[in-house]
Amino acid sequence: MKKIATAILIAAAASMASADGLKSLESFMKGTQTGKADFTQTVTSPPKDGQTARTKTSSGSFEFQRPGRFKFVYKKPFEQTIVADGQTLWLYDVDLNQVTQRSQSQALGSTPAALLASAPDLSALKAEFTLEASPDADGLQWVLASPRTKDGQLKSVRVGFAGEQLAALDILDSFGQRSLIRFTGMQANAALPASTFQFKPPAGADVVKQ
């Protein structure tokens, strides 16, 4: 009887924790329209030919305004900017002095912020992703989001919350590459000027349209 009771308690606790993750996501989608934070991103590539998995770490700042606008500024180890202005997705590589320009509607799902920054509300998010509770870990409540369309580069995203605060994105692509983004100093509903998501290619930069 004790084992059965213990199992029931464990199952109930897991269910409550999972529900907390889904509730946090719902609260975030309802109550947070803009935000900004610093981030650290660790990209782990799958091992090849018996070699160990390779990792790369970068850091920078992140801003978003739903629906459809976000900005990643990578500062270390290489400078790079990704801006979605609602129509166009811009990628600027400072070292190469090259700008890549893509239609945002065709590029959704290929960037880390697309999941949360593009959907205007939870119902729109559910139309694009299957949402499931994921076990709590690292002191966070997690939700697993899997694209309903299976032919894209994005395989799944785990979204981590500290209470109702967005804290992490754990992204797995179709090639087995994992990107873990942890946010610090998140400011929800921060006042962001319209110029935040405007991008103009620098003079002399090579512009490539895709």
Tens of pLDDT, residue by residue over 29-80, are: 888 999 999 999 999 988 887 777 789 999 999 999 988 899 999 999 999 9
List strand residue ranges (DSSP E) for the chain, in order: 34-45, 54-65, 69-76, 80-85, 88-93, 98-103, 129-137, 140-147, 154-162, 165-173, 178-188, 206-209
In this structure, the chain runs to a length of 210
Segment 117-149, tens digit of pLDDT: 777 778 888 888 888 888 888 889 999 988 887
List Cβ neighbours of 78 (8 Å cut-off, separation of 6 or more).
58, 93, 94, 95
- Identify the CATH class of 2-209: mainly beta
pTM, entire model = 0.82
Count of beta carbons in the 10 Å neighbourhood of residue 188: 15
- Ordered by start, the domain boundaries in the chain are 2-209
Q: How many helices and strands, by DSSP H and E, does the chain display?
A: 4, 12
Residue 127 has a pLDDT of 82
* Selection from 54, 193, 173, 53 nearest residue 112 by Cα: 173
Reported confidence tier of residue 97, pLDDT bands at 50, 70, 90: very high
